[in-house]
Amino acid sequence: MDQLHKKTQHITKLILKASKAAREETRGDGGYASSGGAVKWPVECTVGPGLEGAIACESKVGYVNGVKGALIYRGYDVFDLCAYSTFEEVSYLLLYGKLPTPSQFEIFKKKLAQHRNVSDTLRLLMSFPVENMNPMAALRMGAHFLRREFSTIDQDDHKPDSGDFIGSDEDSIAMETVPKGSKRAIYEFKRKKQRERERDDGTYNPATGYGPCYSLIAGTSCLAAAIKRVREGHLPIEPRMDLSHAANLLYMMTGKEPSPEEERIMDVALILHADHGMNASTFASMVVASTLSDMYFSVGAGIAALNGPLHGGANEQVVKMLEEIGKKERVKAWFDEAMKEKKKIMGFGHRVYKAYDPRARILLPLAEFFGGKNDEIAHMFEIATLLEKQVVGKLGKEKKIFPNVDFYSGMLYQSLGIPAEMFTSIFAVSRVSGWTARVMEYLENNRIFRPRAIYTGTFDEKYKPLRNRK
């Protein structure tokens, strides 16, 4: 028996059943495509709007097969990782490329837990009206403030000397300073050799290399939990170092130690959202990193990109949509009306998947399982499955539109006591491990991203003074 998940074997069974069905259904549907070795640049490809088809880099972090409906992290099928692994182990795998040995794993978990202490960052964040802010805006700001906590930049020894203040005396408030910090801020990514040494001997400098990865993976989850609490009019809760990443996240959000089932569901959701190829937010964070900015700015860019309703914001919209439908009897009429108005149905369709999203395959039975324990979720699940039938029936064959990861995740989060406005932040908390892993990998052979646009404008316009323009 799997010792790690011995209290939640029934959930492991649900995952294995879903993955067996998925594998049988997609057997023979297109093979895996790998370059099989060094890529010879430049490569030829056909590029469409939204950079569709463009190849931006080589990567060993993860692979999405949109025809087969498969998702691989570092060679491991995400179905197996959900069944047997944990979010901490998956984060290690994504960052370092291989599964940890028992001692490596203990060290890694301890380091992550140490980085749960974000009290300085929280104090700073709470000086803003977090309760009135979009949670993703607060999370993005918090991610930037984490930089202060773990980086030497901005800390006391790098603050300007008193002599640098302009017009300062003992009683005055310093108003202007010589910007010493900026001299250092742009070089936070360590050189390749130093990063390799840190990776190999497990040591790291808190300001550079892998340090910010740990700080952001652990820190954003504590910040998201605190943001949720403050929005509900409560004080943030101190982290617990003895809990797993998933359990601590739920504990800090709800103030209750989660049951093994709740912890496992959160853990599986975190694993499923950890990485997904060159999606918009991953690309955004890599673009920022490629300028040799720093990991905190890179993750901040990822959070910003994830916020949009076409990306991470969709699961919140799904719950709103299901609430708007309200009754199972209304599903067909609502869907017909949506089609007439050419509306996009939230939680369906994907740029890459032209098959059932493997993440949705796992989330569906978990949502059903939780629905059995909660009437509200059961009601939502019923509407969702009816809507899925309508959408797939009409658009599945013709346009290859199937449920994506966002369709069933919201329901699960709601059953864990997470309100809809926090869903995207929870997605970000998980995706930080993919963003940081891909940034670290790209930096090994960094080249600044700089695509081109095809100019379709005019030439030879003659400037007219304002008064002559009608």
Q: Which residues bind ligand ACO (CB under 6 A)?
A: 50, 310-312, 314, 344-351, 395, 399, 401, 404-406
The answer to whether residue 158 is catalytic is no
Q: Provide, rounded to whole angstroms, the least separation between the CB of residue 304 and ligand ACO.
A: 14
* Spatial distance between the Cα atoms of 33 and 456, rounded to a whole number of angstroms: 35
- Structure tokens that stand for 468 in this block: 């002559």
Q: Which is nearer to ligand ACO, 139 or 153 (CB)?
A: 139
Nearest CB to ligand ACO, comparing residues 192 and 344: 344
Report in angstroms how near the CB of residue 42 gets to ligand ACO at its nearest. 25
Give the CA distances from residue 174 to residues 154, 159, 452, in Å, rounded to whole numbers and listed in that order: 16, 12, 44
Is-contact 291 448, C-beta < 8 A? yes
Q: Of 164, 158, 214, 216, which Cα lies nearest the Cα of 187?
A: 158
CB atoms within 10 A of CB 174: 14
Give the active site residue among 275, 311, 357, 379: 311
Which residue of the set 350, 357, 375, 379 is catalytic? 350
**Residue 87 or 423 with smaller CB distance to ligand ACO:** 423
Q: Residue 403: phi, psi to the nearest 5?
A: -60, 145
Q: Rounded to the nearest whole angstrom, what is the least distance from the CB of residue 39 to ligand ACO in the complex?
A: 25
CB of 389 to ligand ACO, least distance (A): 14
Nearest to 315 by CA among 260, 368, 369, 359: 359
Closer to ligand ACO at the Cβ: 199 or 394?
A: 394
Q: Which residue is nearest to ligand ACO (CB)?
A: 349
Kindly give, in sequence order, each residue whose CB lies less than 8 Å from that of residue 22, ignoring residues fewer than 6 positions away: 69, 79, 356, 358, 361
Q: How far is the CB of 467 from ligand ACO (least distance, A)?
A: 44
321 by Cβ neighbours in 10 Å (0-12 / 13-18 / 19+) ranks as buried
Sheet holding 62-65, edge to edge: 62-65, 70-73, 76-77
In the complex with ligand ACO, the residue whose CB is nearer, 100 or 308, is: 308
Q: How far apart are CA 127 and CA 397, in angstroms?
A: 52
Minimum Å distance from CB 358 to ligand ACO?
A: 12
Question: CB–CB of 195/440 below 8 Å?
Answer: yes
311 tagged catalytic: yes
- Residue 293 vs 424, nearer CB to ligand ACO: 424
* Phi and psi, residue 458, nearest 5°: -95, 170
245 among known catalytic residues: no
CA distance linking residue 226 with residue 428, whole number of Å: 15
Query: What are the residue numbers of the active site?
Result: 311, 350, 406
